[in-house]
Amino acid sequence: MTTRREGRELALQALYSKDLVLHDATSALKRIIESFSEGDEPTLEVNSKAYAFASELVNGVMAHLPEIDSRISEKSKNWSMTRMARVDLNILRLAVFELLYRPDIPKNVTMNEAIEVAKKFGAEDSASFVNGILDEIASTVTGKE
What radius of gyration, in Å, describes the C-alpha atoms of the chain?
15
> pLDDT tens-digit profile of 13-23?
888 888 777 66
User: The pTM is what?
Assistant: 0.86
Q: Which of 79, 109, 73 is nearest to 93 (CA)?
A: 73
> pLDDT tens-digit profile of 83-139?
999 999 999 999 999 999 999 999 999 999 999 999 999 999 999 999 999 999 999
Chain centroid to Cα 111, Å, comes to: 11
> pLDDT tens-digit profile of 43-63?
445 677 888 899 999 999 999
* Domains contained in the chain, CATH given: 3-138 (1.10.940.10)
Contacts of 128 (CB under 8 A, 6+ apart): none
Distance CA 51, CA 42 (A): 18
Contacts of 2 (CB under 8 A, 6+ apart): none
Split at pLDDT 50, 70, 90, the class of 2 is confident
Using alpha carbons only, give the angle 23, 32, 80 rounded to the nearest 5 degrees.
50
